[in-house]
Structure 1
Amino acid sequence: MVDISNILVTGGSVKEMEKIIKDTAIFGKKQWRFKSEEDVKEEDFYWADTYAAFAPTNNFTFGNIKWVHSTGAGVDKFLDRLDWKDDVLLTKTICSFGQRIGEYSLSYILKDCQYHDTFREHQSDKAWREDVPVPLAEKTAVIYGTGNIGQETAKILSFFGIKVYGVSLSGKQKEYFEKVYSTEDDNTEVLQKADYIISTMPLTEKTRKMFDNSFFEKLSDTGFINVGRGASVDSQALLDALDKGQLKFAVLDVFETEPLPETDPLWSHPKVNITPHISAVTTPEEGTKCFLGTLINIDEGRDLTNIVDVKRGY
């Protein structure tokens, strides 16, 4: 494990993190620099052995850095932009993401099963039509990505009776899933049963544009929810799938370019629901708690549960 002394903290929540950290016992045991991204200088990277932020600054250099901690769950901003050094530890934030994403996904599934949009249309038409809602126990969801977030989402959905299957890069079996398949398998059979597809996938070379024409062709009248990474979806293929009826709706919280450009056709498609990357916002309190917990575990030589496998990308 690494020996930590000098810590550089930056990013959008740096002021909140500074306030929280200064009230902890560990503050006096380390040397700290809390800086806005534009104020970080190259010499800071040679002073620090630790860098904590949501993403690397534009002038990032490894310098004397031994440990990088992502204050978000995703690490693609680090791995895509940097030629990673083998001797630098990379960790990520793990907190209430799974609970929040599970609730986010469940809300759109309930909206579909309870015919919210249909009854709103009936109300506008002053039409008394008794469309009967569909019980969750009659629905099947396939979650792509069975890590902490995917597993917690599966726990929430299965609690309400939804039959949940998983697909992951490894295909390793996990609790709360009826079965977990590998991305290398032919998953046509389980996809054809899916009422909902939920992606919590990280962004790697294997997952980039994973959801393409060949994927959507296996679906029929399926709801698609992406809370993983925007670049995992071929946007044009998704729009085509909506127009062909392969997808009945799409809920998109993440995009390849954020904010989503005003000219993007996703904005205006009637079957697309857009949210601005809010399905699992990390509060400064949660992010700081995870960072400090990881720091303490490093100092005390404990095993870490949030280490990123740099070669796998997650």
Structure 2
Amino acid sequence: MSTGRKILTICSQLKEIESRVKVVCPQLEVVHVDPPLLPIVLQQTDYLIADFNHLAPILFENPDRLKWVQGTWAGADYLVKLVAAADKLPVIKVSRLTHPTFSQLMAEYCVSAVINIERGFKQCHELQRQKIWAGDRLNNYRSLNELTIGILGVGEIGSSCAKLLHGFGCQIIGLVNSPRLPDHYVSKYYCLSEVKELLRSADYIINVLPSTPQTNNILSNDVLSACQGSGFINIGRGNVCTDQDIISALNNGWLKEAYLDVFSVEPLPLDSGFWTHPRVTVTPHVAGSSRALEIVDCFLTNLNKMAKGESPDGLINWEKMY
């Protein structure tokens, strides 16, 4: 028998979401389902929290009773690929994971990568492995307040990177879709057509761009030749250039070193040259992990917004594909 309460359905590998949401939303009836999601769920639930890779069976269906989906992922590229391959746009409302703590985690990864590259810690580890004491090889580094950091994509995560690195004294420049005036954290903004100018000016490049048709291969075709021995950190998506573009840039000295957390193919294939390149650090898409605490916090914030007739934060624009 129905309790008369609104129903929230959860379809996620993060089992902790269910227990947390029951604490903060006692007014909801919470139901957990295992994938695959069936279209019938659109008639049976008011709200849905789901991993994006579970949404394919319902993405192009009429939402019926379902008011909105809170996603557990920050990146929407899995869904963007489904939409790009279809001949219609979804009508379901889906929001990405947008939370200050998630953005902070991503920014902390970037700060650590800059410091690791600048201080030569990769070389330090190799010297330790060989039991070589060679301080003279590790003393050619700069302070963070001497560095210019170019951030490709200054949205929620890019802004968090800018704020954190600016706090260390870095000069921040950013790449965005449309012209912007400088602000407290970013001294100059560049548009996509000016990417080479940004690359020439930066000691480190941090890619935070989403995967969209507009960002595909924007660093390919020797665009990275504009870099002046920069460090490259990719926490956005692997579509901005090919693997060979990065390897060529490293081998030609355009890039000094690379920290790569995202790739065009994941898991990274065993035959990828990144695994063994001496100036590449590979991390398995862990710069920022989706955690139940932030997901439930986002859901609660957006639930309250919808109750007031407002749009949820992080709502995916199906026409812009992000």
SS, match of residue 101 in structure 1:
helix
Percentage identity across paired residues of the two chains: 28
TM-score using structure 1 length: 0.88
**Alpha-carbon distance, 1:266 to partner:** 1.4
| Distance change (3 Å), C-alpha of 1:208 and 1:187 | closer
CA distance in 1, matches of 2:263, 2:198: 26
**Alpha-carbon distance, 1:122 to partner:** 5.8
CA distance in 2, matches of 1:189, 1:117: 29
CA contact 1:73–1:92 (8 Å) conserved in 2: yes
SS, match of residue 157 in structure 1:
helix
The residue aligned with 2:68 is 67
The residue aligned with 1:153 is 161
Equivalent AA in structure 1 for residue 13 of structure 2: G
Q: 1:104 aligns with which of 105, 109, 125?
A: 109
Matched, 1:16 2:16: yes
Deviations 1:5-61 (A, max 9, x none): 443321211x2111111223x343x444311224x3332233234332121425335
The residue aligned with 2:176 is 168
| Distance change (3 Å), C-alpha of 1:18 and 1:267 | same
Matched, 1:126 2:133: yes
Deviations 1:120-167 (A, max 9, x none): 566633345272431112211100000011011011111111111000
CA contact 1:202–1:313 (8 Å) conserved in 2: no
Once structures 1 and 2 are overlaid, which stretch shifts more, 172-181 or 282-291? 172-181
CA distance in 2, matches of 1:214, 1:132: 28
Equivalent AA in structure 1 for residue 118 of structure 2: C
Q: 2:279 aligns with which of 242, 248, 271?
A: 271
Deviations 1:238-284 (A, max 9, x none): 11111111111111101122211222221111111100111111211
CA distance in 2, matches of 1:12, 1:167: 34
| Distance change (3 Å), C-alpha of 1:274 and 1:299 | same
**Alpha-carbon distance, 1:98 to partner:** 2.1
| Distance change (3 Å), C-alpha of 1:7 and 1:270 | same
| Distance change (3 Å), C-alpha of 1:148 and 1:6 | same
CA distance in 2, matches of 1:292, 1:128: 52
Give unpaired runs (5+ residues) of structure 1: none
SS, match of residue 206 in structure 2:
strand
Q: 1:215 aligns with which of 223, 231, 239?
A: 223
SS, match of residue 213 in structure 1:
coil
The residue aligned with 2:252 is 244
Give unpaired runs (5+ residues) of structure 2: none
Once structures 1 and 2 are overlaid, which stretch shifts more, 131-140 or 285-294? 131-140
TM-score using structure 2 length: 0.86
